[in-house]
């Protein structure tokens, strides 16, 4: 068995999980909102890209660009109309509302697209690979990982270099004081969810190109995303990437020992990290 | 005159409700003599979901512990019972106690782990623990691994009490098993509601409500908050485990994906509690009736039904966060299971 190869594949898989998790990390970090519909929103975006690809005959990457503003608007509206009403000290209302939303999205997709599994065709890119001496890496996984890093660099720039990012951080730390300074938390939250939906669209693009998907697989993706966010620590985007990589490596190592242990190994790694560090590895904000 | 004052919780509605409850219980036990098998099966479903809902309500509504991992204890209960019946030849009815014990044994390390996590982390943590338990049980080849297994024929037919039920009602084997399971479910539901009500009326219940409303203030007056959480979590795990064992005793067949399903054993249960009214004993009772009515009327519509269920959950949470019972109780002031202590007598006018 080639351990280096296994670990590298795991790291690259972690890139995909980090993409799933980055949007969640943003929303969770700013408004402590546990969005149980996040996984289903990724699947929704994947169907949106699929529809654009087949209707307009576009390349998947261009189709994702078209889908982004649509998803941004959806996220903005969702936050403004529904989620802002349930934010507060009690975590139960947002949990239940997003849970209801998850069921609605899943079944709406089942109604619209049936339970058949789908895939976003990416042509030769799907199977292309590059030799690096002893290991061979797929182009698609490498592209996924690079995109995850780009997304995180981009979000960090937004967070630490722009007025919007300052408003995000201020609201995250203390919404009441932030609103004394002329920031409207409700509209900051809506922008943040909109941006999270752009990240969701990128995650959906790679999810759809790398493997088959159907309307019911959202919750499984959600649990990996949450694990990555929690391992990384609240409000730390690089931590989220680290979390994704830990889950990815644990899964490929587990699968190398026994294929039935893949998912289990990822969960066990998550529990072990939390046992040692209950607030994750690199928490930025304090609750 | 201090002697004129009295602190009590009883209300007139509660007295009436108590009498109605006694009548309902008697009718409930006698029902198999008149009712058809379909009704008995429906009531079994309602009663077991009610038990799960009451325990989740105890956790989230009173203990402030929002768990998304209760399916772990349903599944452990089911597998505890099947394991005891298949591997050790236990009588399935007697093995129900093992269902609770199996859930309890896993709940202890889970609590050590999960109580270190706050709020949302606790919810996700319990969910991951449930997934780990599901994936681990799927590796247990003696009870069928990932594909699951059935209760052995002789264990099913030789169940304690089955012969009595058969001679009593002249029922077939399968119908007698349904009746027996129904009686057990009814007993479990009564014990659950009675037990939770007794807990809430006791000193511990007062401590629990104090912890839920303001943990710092509760600790300042000497309430051991961590101890209360332990009591609630372990009680809920034990009860949920027995309910899980009973559900699969009636089904006669178990598989990891079904017994550890987050939708069936946690999502629906949360909907029941929220629609009915969280933080009350009446809420889950109303919720399970609404849930059952919706299911029997619209389940044929498949995806549309589930979409509607999701929408109802969202709407209730947005506009009536205390559920249907909360709406009713706020309007009328009626409480069937009152736990609030009121001071009456002396110069305070009696209501």
pLDDT, averaged in runs of 10, over chain B (351 residues): 66 82 89 86 95 95 88 96 91 92 96 86 90 92 86 80 80 85 95 92 86 83 87 95 95 92 88 90 93 87 85 88 87 78 63 48
Q: Which of B234, B260, B286 is the last residue of a domain?
A: B260
CB contact under 8 A, B121 and A230: yes
Same domain, B210 and B72: yes
Q: What are the helix (H) ranges across chain B?
A: 12-30, 37-57, 71-87, 92-114, 119-137, 153-157, 162-169, 173-201, 203-213, 215-220, 225-251, 256-259, 262, 268-276, 282-298, 303-319, 323-332
Kindly list the residues of chain B whose beta carbon comes within 8 Å of any beta carbon in chain A.
60, 66, 68, 113, 116-121, 123-125, 127-129, 131-132, 135-136, 138-139, 262, 267, 270-271, 274, 278, 303-304, 306-307, 309-314, 317-318, 321
On whether residue B8 sits in a domain, the answer given is: no
Say yes or no: B268 and B251 in one domain.
Answer: no
Count CB neighbours of B301 within 10 A.
Answer: 11
Among B56, B57, B116, B128, the residue to mutate for chain A (most A Cβ within 10 A): B128
Distance CA B77, CA B259 (A): 9
B223 shares a domain with B132? yes
Residue B214, CB-side half-sphere exposure with 13 Å CA sphere: 6
**Domain boundary at B237, B260, B283, which?**
B260
Given this model, what pLDDT does residue B121 score?
Answer: 83
Task: Kindly tell me the burial class for residue B116, based on how many C-beta atoms sit within 10 Å of its own C-beta (0-12, 13-18, 19 or more).
Answer: middle
* Residue contact A100–B128, C-beta within 8 A: no
Residue for token pair 């039904």: B305
pLDDT for B1 equals 46
pLDDT at residue B192, rounded to an integer:
95
Cβ proximity of B173 and B166 under 8 Å: yes
Task: Residue B322: give the domain boundaries.
Answer: 262-336
Place of tokens 């909102």: A33
Closest CA to A31 of A275, A271, A233, A234: A234
Scored b (16 or more CB within 10 A) or e, A71-103 reads bbebbbebbbebbbbbbeeebbbbbbbbbbbbb
Both tokens of A177, joined, read 């004081």
Q: Contacts of residue A287 in chain B, CB cutoff 8 Å?
A: 118-119
Alpha-carbon span A183 to A187, nearest angstrom: 8
Interface of A with B (CB under 8 A): 28, 32, 34, 82, 85-86, 91-93, 95-97, 99-104, 106-108, 110-111, 219, 223, 226-227, 230, 260, 263-264, 267-268, 270-271, 274-275, 278, 287
Instruction: In whole angstroms, give the CA distance from residue A263 to residue B135.
Output: 8
Whether residue A97 and residue B124 make contact (CB cut-off 8 A), yes or no, is: no
Distance, C-alpha B197 to centroid of its chain: 13
Residue B216 within any structural domain of the chain: yes
pLDDT value, residue B3: 56
- Residues B213, B79, single domain; the answer is yes
Q: Across the interface, do B128 and A267 touch by the CB < 8 Å criterion?
A: yes
Q: Indicate whether B45 belongs to any domain.
A: yes
For chain A, list the strands marked E by DSSP: 129-132, 135-138
Verify that B252 and B194 share a domain, yes or no.
yes
* pLDDT < 50: residue spans in chain A: none
Does the residue B5 lie in any domain? no
Q: Report the gap between the CA of B318 and the closest CA in chain A (Å).
A: 7
Chain A residue with minimum CA distance to B322: A93
Q: Which of B64, B124, B316 is most worth mutating to test chain A (most A CB atoms within 10 A of its CB)? A: B124
Residues A165, A169, A171, A172, Cα dihedral to 10°: 130
Residues B183, B267, single domain; the answer is no
Cα–Cα nearest to A98, from B227, B317, B323, B319:
B317
Least CB-CB distance to A96: which of B262, B309, B317? B317
Nearest chain A residue (CA) to B133: A264
Q: What's the angle, vertex CA A241, arms to CA A236 and CA A243, rounded to 5?
A: 90
Does B170 reside within a domain? yes
CA distance A209 to A127: 11
Cα–Cα distance for residue pair B253/B153, rounded to 1 Å:
11
Domain annotation covers residue B61: yes
Shortest CA distance from A275: residue in chain B: B113
**Nearest by CB: A91 against B119, B125, B318:** B119
* Greatest distance between any 2 Cα atoms in chain A: 60
Do B288 and B224 belong together in one domain?
Answer: no
Chain B residue closest to A224 (CA)? B128
* Cβ–Cβ < 8 Å for A67, A201: yes
Residues of A in contact with B278 (CB under 8 A): 92
Strands B149-150 and B253-254: antiparallel
In-domain check, residue B343: no
Which residues make Cβ contacts (< 8 Å) with residue A158, sequence separation at least 6? Answer: A164, A165, A168, A195
Same domain, B164 and B149: yes
Beta bridge partners of B6: B344
The reply to whether B351 falls in a domain is no
Q: Do B117 and A274 lie within an 8 Å CB cutoff? A: yes
Residues B113 and B229 in one domain: yes
Last residue of some domain: B260, B277, B309? Answer: B260
Residue A197: which of A10, A26, A32, A3 has the closest Cα?
A26
CA separation for the pair A104, B275 (Å, rounded): 16
Same domain, yes or no, for B73 and B153? yes
Are B274 and B58 contacting, i.e. CB atoms less than 8 angstroms apart? no
pLDDT for residue A285? 56
Q: Which residue matches tokens 């722009």?
A: A162
Q: Do A34 and B307 touch (CB under 8 A)?
A: no
What per-residue confidence (pLDDT) applies to A198?
Answer: 96
Same domain membership, residue B310 and residue B194: no
Closest residue by Cα to residue A248 from A6, A4, A14: A14
pLDDT score for A286: 55
Q: Do the Cβ atoms of B136 and A82 come within 8 Å?
A: no
B265 burial type by CB count under 10 A (0-12 exposed, 13-18 middle, 19+ buried): buried
Same domain, B284 and B325: yes
With an 8 Å Cβ cutoff, are A32 and B270 in contact?
no
> Which is nearest to B44 in space by CA: B176, B177, B186?
B186
Domain tally, chain B: 2
- The pLDDT value recorded for residue B348 is 54
């Amino acid at each position: 068995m080639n351990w280096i190869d296994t670990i590298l594949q795991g790291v690259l898989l972690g890139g995909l999980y980090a993409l799933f998790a980055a949007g969640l990390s943003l929303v969770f970090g700013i408004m402590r909102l546990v969005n149980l519909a996040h996984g289903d929103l990724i699947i929704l975006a994947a169907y949106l890209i699929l529809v654009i690809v087949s209707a307009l005959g576009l390349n998947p990457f261009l189709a994702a660009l078209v889908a982004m503003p649509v998803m941004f608007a959806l996220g903005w509206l969702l936050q403004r109309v529904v989620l802002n009403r349930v934010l507060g000290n009690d975590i139960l209302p947002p949990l239940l509302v997003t849970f209801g939303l998850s069921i609605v999205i899943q079944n709406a997709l089942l109604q619209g697209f049936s339970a058949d599994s789908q895939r976003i065709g990416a042509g030769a890119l799907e199977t292309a690979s590059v030799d690096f001496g002893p290991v061979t890496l797929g182009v698609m996984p490498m592209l996924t990982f690079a995109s995850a890093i780009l997304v995180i660099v981009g979000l960090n720039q937004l967070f630490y270099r722009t007025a919007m990012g300052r408003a995000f951080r201020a609201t995250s730390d203390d919404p009441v004081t932030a609103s004394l300074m002329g920031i409207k938390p409700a509209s900051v939250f809506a922008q943040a969810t909109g941006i999270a939906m752009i990240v969701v669209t990128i995650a959906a693009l790679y999810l759809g190109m790398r493997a088959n998907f159907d309307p019911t697989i959202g919750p499984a993706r959600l649990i990996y995303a949450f694990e990555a966010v929690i391992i990384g620590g609240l409000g730390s985007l690089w931590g989220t990437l680290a979390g994704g990589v830990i889950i990815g490596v644990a899964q490929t190592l587990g699968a190398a020992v026994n294929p039935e242990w893949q998912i289990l190994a990822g969960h066990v790694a998550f529990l072990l990290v939390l046992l040692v560090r209950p607030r994750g590895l690199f928490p930025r904000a304090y609750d | 005159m201090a002697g004129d004052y009295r602190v009590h919780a009883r209300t007139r509605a509660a007295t009436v409700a108590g009498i109605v409850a006694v009548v309902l219980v008697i009718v409930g036990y006698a029902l198999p003599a008149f009712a058809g098998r379909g009704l008995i099966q429906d009531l079994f479903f309602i009663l077991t979901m009610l038990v799960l809902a009451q325990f989740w309500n105890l956790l989230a509504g009173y203990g402030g512990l929002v768990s998304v991992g209760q399916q772990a204890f349903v599944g452990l209960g089911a597998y505890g019972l099947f394991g005891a019946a298949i591997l050790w030849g236990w009588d399935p009815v007697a093995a129900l106690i093992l269902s609770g014990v199996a859930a309890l044994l896993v709940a202890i390390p889970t609590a050590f782990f999960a109580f270190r996590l706050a709020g949302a982390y606790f919810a996700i943590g319990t969910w991951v623990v449930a997934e780990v338990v599901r994936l681990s049980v799927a590796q247990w080849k003696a009870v069928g691994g990932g594909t699951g297994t059935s209760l052995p024929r002789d264990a099913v037919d030789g169940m304690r009490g089955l012969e009595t039920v058969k001679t009593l009602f002249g029922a077939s084997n399968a119908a007698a098993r349904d009746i027996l399971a129904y009686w057990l479910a009814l007993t479990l539901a009564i014990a659950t509601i009675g037990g939770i009500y007794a807990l809430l009326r006791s000193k511990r219940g007062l401590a629990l409500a104090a912890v839920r409303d303001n943990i710092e203030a509760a600790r300042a007056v000497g309430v051991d908050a961590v101890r209360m959480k332990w009591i609630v979590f372990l009680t809920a795990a034990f009860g949920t485990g027995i309910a899980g064992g009973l559900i699969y005793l009636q089904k006669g067949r178990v598989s990891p994906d079904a017994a550890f399903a987050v939708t069936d054993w946690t999502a629906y249960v949360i909907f029941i509690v929220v629609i009915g009214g969280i933080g009350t004993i009446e809420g889950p009772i109303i919720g399970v009736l609404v849930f059952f009515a919706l299911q029997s009327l619209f389940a044929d519509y498949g995806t549309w039904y589930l979409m509607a269920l999701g929408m109802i959950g969202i709407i209730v949470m947005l506009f009536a966060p205390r559920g249907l019972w909360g709406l009713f109780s706020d309007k009328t002031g009626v409480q069937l299971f009152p736990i609030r202590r009121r001071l009456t007598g002396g110069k305070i006018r009696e209501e």
